[in-house]
Amino acid sequence: MSNTIKNDENIKSCIILCGGQSRRMGQDKGSMIIQNKPMIKHILSTLNKHIDEVIIVLNDQVRVDKYAKFINPEEYTYSITFLKDKIKSKGPLSGIMTGLGEIKSDYALILPCDSPYVSEDYIQTIFSQIDSDYQAIVPYHDENNKLKTSEPLHSIYKKDTITEIEKLVNEDVLHIKGLIEKITTKFILIDNKKIEKKEFRNLNRPEDI
């Protein structure tokens, strides 16, 4: 077991967003116990041996301290960094911006902490789609409306999108699909073959569990 970082060009990075308010669930989702362990640890286990660094973005120091107590980096094959949102109360875009600013690679896979069904196959498939001509790799459900049916929180973004994200956040334009419209995006179909729909199931309410 090793969490040594490789050369920059070979690094695979993942940013896990844990800064949400979890109003519908009524409690912090990432630390909720699902099948005998915190929800985020299902994702962390899936990433083992497929990722070189994980950035966990949380909304404040209290939550950083909480997660650091139950996540032991020694259990994983990659490095783990805990970060606070650089700009609070600006939604996922702020978390993506915070994480991209710290990654050692050119690209990072973004995942929400409430998607425990992401598989190893999905991790491998989406990283295989990285293309230097594009700033984002985004899965979508419907050929007739790629943007509307896209899954921007299970996507890969290039580090240089930070500049565009900063502009949007400063203008209080916080919809991630607004970012996708402004950057070069490669859309990949969720076809239930290479990419299955179940990968994108998330847990928002108690009845979802």
Q: Which domains does the chain have, with CATH numbers?
A: 10-202 (3.90.550.10)
Confidence of residue 205 (pLDDT cuts 50, 70, 90): low
Question: Would the annotation count 60 as a binding residue?
Answer: no
The pLDDT mean for the chain works out to 90
pLDDT surpasses 50 at 40:
yes
Residue with more model confidence, 21 or 88: 88
Q: At what angle do helices 39-47 and 120-128 cross, to 10 degrees?
A: 60
Question: Would the annotation count 18 as a binding residue?
Answer: yes
Helix (H) or strand (E) holding 61: helix 61-70
pLDDT surpasses 90 at 42:
yes
Question: Would the annotation count 17 as a binding residue?
Answer: yes
